[in-house]
Amino acid sequence: MDRKKIESLVNEHETPLLVIDHDKIRKNYSEFRKKLPRVQVYFAVKANSEPKIIKTLYDMGASFDVASLPEFNLVFNMVKYLEPEALQDFIWNKIIYANPVKKPDSLHVLNLYKPLLTYDSVEEMRKIKKHCPDAGLLLRLKVCDEGSVVKFSNKFGIDPKLAVDLIGETIKEGLEVEGISFHAGSQCNNPDNFIKALRSVAEVFAEAEKRGLEIGEKRTSDHAIKIVDIGGGFPAQYNGNENCFGKLTEMINRELDKLFPRENTAIIAEPGRFLVANAGTAISKVVLAKHSTEMPCYHIDDGVYHTFSAIIYDHFEPNLETFKKGEKIKCKVFGQTCDGLDELSENSYIHNSKDAFLPKLEDGDLIYQENIGAYSNASATNFNGFPPAKIIHINE
């Protein structure tokens, strides 16, 4: 985003701001579809749950991955005026509730719509049997997530060696197992995670077939269609490294075609950050510039309890920029709260923070951060009484 546009937005709305560029979201979605043509795209709403983002992706033909009843309702409220049959088709074909752990009251509500759910344990399966028996199920496997920025294997997924036994028990309970899911870890920088996971899925399918267990969606076809959910983790291009995603998708496409016949397998994915990370630009203002200290210190009107929560919760490494000219020198940049943790520069509390280098700034100067559209405003708070940044949508 250029200086003229940023200054115009600040003059109109003041700071702090988070600007979401919908042209970038549409471009990212189109690239994902082009590079993975077999894959149905389910946007992971948790990455950025702004309703306008959901609407843009809905208009592009996207499906949605939700992890809570409020996220489900964000999508549902957009389509609730459809005719009953069309509404049910949308919920079945366009929404997956991909949190393997669900509250009973949420399951009661979801059962009205015969949803697609994930699970990874016999305990969750029995809960679903009791509270949401009309759901279709995807069993989530535990897979390798080494090299991924955010890991999930510590929390979710069943050991693949135990998967077929659980599938058998699930079918015995009268529930429909539609397929298998996995997640290779968020911002996955190790393509082998996907390849190993896909091979594990194929092995589970083969063993289930050997035991005579039928897996697959039977609601909309004369024959069973197995669902393979390859999760999220597709690396956002924070540093402009476009070859990374291209290489990954080439490897995935080869493996999909080798392992899963097109005629009886549906492939879905849950990208979040890939679609929205580079669409967000945070704009803040220097509230106080201290030059009497050993190192320049800048206090700004945003911070780690707000848009820059990504530093804590998403291992985000900030790269702060300004329009001021001059030699860039090492400095400290603090957020607006009274907490010592609220530092955007090198921070002893946060292992992924790094030194900030900026030219000499004064009160009122602007600082901006690009590529912060994912896991930022979604986890912002009102801590210390400071509201989150105002969200501005452009190119809707």
* The three-state (H, E, C) secondary structure of 23-34, written as one string: HHHHHHHHHHHH
pLDDT on residue 233: 78
**Predicted confidence (pLDDT) at residue 253 exceeds the cutoff of 90:** yes
* CB atoms inside a 10 Å sphere around CB 64: 26
**Predicted confidence (pLDDT) at residue 38 exceeds the cutoff of 90:** yes
pLDDT in tens, 137-176: 999 998 656 555 554 566 577 888 999 999 999 999 999 9
Greater confidence, 144 or 354?
354
Rounded Cα distance between 44 and 24, Å, is: 17
Topology of the domain covering 3-18+278-394: Lyase, Ornithine Decarboxylase; Chain A, domain 1 (2.40.37)
pLDDT on residue 8: 94
* Averaged pLDDT for residues 329-357: 85
Structure tokens at 262: 């097109």
pLDDT on residue 242: 46
C-beta of residue 269 within 8 angstroms of C-beta of residue 230: yes
Topology of the domain covering 22-276: TIM Barrel (3.20.20)
Q: Kindly give the interhelix angle for 51-60 and 69-79, rounded to the nearest 10 degrees.
A: 60
Lowest mean pLDDT among 29-38, 236-245, 299-308, 348-357: 236-245
pLDDT on residue 262: 87
Lowest mean pLDDT among 1-5, 24-28, 33-37, 299-303: 1-5
pLDDT in tens, 317-328: 899 999 999 999
Four-residue CA torsion sign, 62, 228, 278, 350: positive
* Averaged pLDDT for residues 82-90: 92
Catalytic annotation present for 338: yes
Q: Show me where the domains of the chain are located.
A: 3-18+278-394, 22-276
Instruction: Place 313 in a pLDDT band, splitting at 50, 70 and 90.
Output: confident
Instruction: Place 105 in a pLDDT band, splitting at 50, 70 and 90.
Output: very high
Antiparallel, parallel or unpaired: β 17-21 and 280-290: antiparallel
Rounded Cα distance between 180 and 163, Å, is: 9
Answer yes or no: same fold for 3-18+278-394 and 22-276: no
